[in-house]
Amino acid sequence: MSSTSVSPQALAINGGSPVRSTLLPYGRQSVDEADIQAVVEVLRSDWLTTGPKVGEFEEAFAARVGAAHAVSFSSGTAALHAAAFAAGLKSGDEAITTPLTFAATANCVLYQGAVPVFADVIGDTINLDPEQTKGKISPRTRAILPVDYAGHPGDLHSILEIARKHGLVVIEDACHALGAEYRGQRVGGIADMTVFSFHPVKHITTGEGGMVTTNHAQFAETLRRFRNHGISSDARQRQSAGQWHYEMVLLGFNYRLPDIVCALGIQQLKRLDANLARRREIAVQYTAAFREIPGVIPPTVRPEANPAWHLYPIRLDLEKLSADRAQIFRALRAENIGVNVHYIPVHLHPYYRDRFGYQGGEFPVAEDAYARLISLPMFHAMTDGDVRDVIAAASKVCEVYAR
Ligand SMILES: Cc1ncc(COP(=O)(O)O)c(C=O)c1O
φ, ψ for residue 213 (rounded to 5)? -110, 150
Angle between helices 259-270 and 272-290 (to 10 degrees): 60
Q: How far is the CA of 177 from the centre of ligand 1 (A)?
A: 11
Establish whether residue 100 lines the binding site of ligand 1, counting it when its CB lies within 6 angstroms of any ligand atom: no
pLDDT tens readout for residues 227-266:
999 998 777 777 777 888 889 999 999 999 999 999 999 9
* Reported pTM: 0.96
φ, ψ for residue 263 (rounded to 5)? -60, -40
Closest CA to 380 of 264, 276, 273: 276
Are 115 and 145 in contact, with CB atoms under 8 Å apart? no
Q: How far is the CA of 229 from the centre of ligand 1 (A)?
A: 22
pLDDT tens-place values along the chain, 403 residues long: 444 444 458 999 999 999 999 999 999 999 999 999 999 999 999 999 999 999 999 999 999 999 999 999 999 999 999 999 999 999 999 999 999 999 999 999 999 999 999 999 999 999 999 999 999 999 999 999 999 999 999 999 999 999 999 999 999 999 999 999 999 999 999 999 999 999 999 999 999 999 999 999 999 999 999 999 999 877 777 777 788 888 999 999 999 999 999 999 999 999 999 999 999 999 999 999 999 999 999 999 999 999 999 999 999 999 999 999 999 999 999 999 999 999 999 999 999 999 999 999 999 999 999 999 999 999 999 999 999 999 999 999 999 999 9
Ligand 1 pocket test: pick from 197, 208, 340 the residue with the most ligand atoms within 8 Å of its Cβ: 197
Rounded distance between C-alpha atoms, residue 108 and residue 52, angstroms: 29
Helix, strand, coil distribution of the chain in percent, nearest 5: 40, 15, 45
Q: Got the DSSP string for 265-326?
A: HHHHHHTHHHHHHHHHHHHHHHHHHHTTSTTEEPPP--TTEE---S-EEEEE-GGGBSS-HH
Q: How far is the CA of 172 from the centre of ligand 1 (A)?
A: 12
